[in-house]
Structure 1
């Protein structure tokens, strides 16, 4: 793990599962756009990197209220342009930012996935019925259902990033 700086000095954290280069996934942390940072999601990013054999570049985007909307979307968009990742993901608010940053679209969920698919972009869209919002953040420690959902997510990421190898 290495703390680095991206566009305009934006703080980033780069996780590498090995010395050999791997496909890159950009990750935006959750936290309702006002809390959360590289530290709160460190374990999640380490787990993704190792479970999926990918490099993870986590973004410490600008948060409200000091930096109102659309500052965080602009940060994520800048990192996506700069890093050119094979995949992008996020937790909770970070999922929204990842989506907005990737195509700067406001579509959500199923409609967004259908739109990407119609545009010829390979999409893996998954909903996890019965799991609470934000389940990705450590719920695997106490919930077998969340742990199984994490494994499905990891397999989705591995599948998507294999195409980039």
Structure 2
């Protein structure tokens, strides 16, 4: 496990002053659990401004892919980011957005995917999977797998190496990425999991410590799990409960230290290592859940590190 880039001095509650200020801004007026429409509206509005709710807009660094287009992948709407059309043999990333399985989409995560594609040189396919509660489990997980199958089958057409396919996601998208890897490990060279929820029981110590006062609350997370549905013991709902993690691809897990989901990510990393999987953890101090797209030094470092990890991901022989 490696430590991430911190935010300078930390306040008494573990957050850096900069992160605490952003946390307060994001929390103010953010709806509590219970109203899907209000949550979706708040996230959509907040994503339009730096430091707002949702993944934010990294931007501002001149990192733009050469080509961005919308299409469908196995019946699922996707957005394809290509940093260098015409080049061959590149990494192909299937990206699954966060949002508690009930909100966000390819538009809220557009800036993040643009930056990942431009910085890594990989083609990024961002999936607009079906949302709960209108479409409970396993709809989102099935859509994620459908997009992976489409991307893998069309890797050559996209200028990518079918042996260098990575599934990635943040928060609930990280859950979907982990589930997709469990369902089709032979199709993947890597999985990138950013502060993923991995156990619907929510029984870890970090839930008790960081479940209130750090923007993403235990009450919200429990409500998201309820809306998503499925058997909490099923490994395609709670990957941490999978009986066997051997054979999974190279893994990078990015975590925030002040996050109720931190311990689930650490536990998954331990189990992956015990199963013989090449797994690296980057734990970023002084920040909270959702920091990846925020205007914080740790966020910039995490994005750059994720892009470098993607670019370096080697392949396995195509199945």
TM-score class normalised by the smaller sequence:
0.7 to 0.9
Structure 1 residue 17 corresponds to structure 2 residue 170: no
Q: Where in structure 1 are there 5+ consecutive unaligned residues?
A: none
Structure 1 residue 122 corresponds to structure 2 residue 270: no
TM-score (ref. length: structure 2) = 0.46
**TM-fit CA distance, 1:49:** 0.2
TM-score (ref. length: structure 1) = 0.85
- Deviation per CA, 1:19-46: give whole Å up to 9, x if none: 1132101100111111111111111000
**TM-fit CA distance, 1:148:** 1.8
* SS state at 1:130 partner: strand
Distance of 1:164 and 1:41 partners within structure 2: 26
**TM-fit CA distance, 1:114:** 4.0
Distance of 1:80 and 1:121 partners within structure 2: 21
Greater fraction of residues in strand: 2
**TM-fit CA distance, 1:164:** 3.2
Distance of 1:94 and 1:87 partners within structure 2: 13
Name the structure 2 match of 1:102: 181
**TM-fit CA distance, 1:118:** 4.9
* SS state at 1:24 partner: strand
Question: In the alignment, which of 300, 304, 314 is matched to residue 151 of structure 1?
Answer: 304
Distance of 1:156 and 1:93 partners within structure 2: 21
Residues 284 and 298, structure 2, Cα contact 8 Å, conserved in 1 = no
Deviates more, 1:146-155 or 1:42-51: 146-155
Name the structure 1 match of 2:69: 2
Name the structure 2 match of 1:70: 138
Q: How many residues align?
A: 159
Distance of 1:123 and 1:87 partners within structure 2: 14
* SS state at 2:179 partner: helix
The 1:112/1:82 distance shift into structure 2, 3 A limit, reads farther
Distance of 1:114 and 1:55 partners within structure 2: 30
**TM-fit CA distance, 1:60:** 0.3
* SS state at 1:147 partner: helix
Name the structure 1 match of 2:149: 81
Greater fraction of residues in helix: 1
Residues 100 and 172, structure 2, Cα contact 8 Å, conserved in 1 = yes
Distance of 1:37 and 1:115 partners within structure 2: 30
Deviates more, 1:14-23 or 1:60-69: 14-23
Distance of 2:115 and 2:304 partners within structure 1: 11
Distance of 1:86 and 1:119 partners within structure 2: 21
* SS state at 2:71 partner: strand
Deviates more, 1:39-48 or 1:78-87: 78-87
* SS state at 1:129 partner: strand
Question: In the alignment, which of 102, 124, 134 is matched to residue 290 of structure 2?
Answer: 134
Alpha-carbon RMSD: 2.0
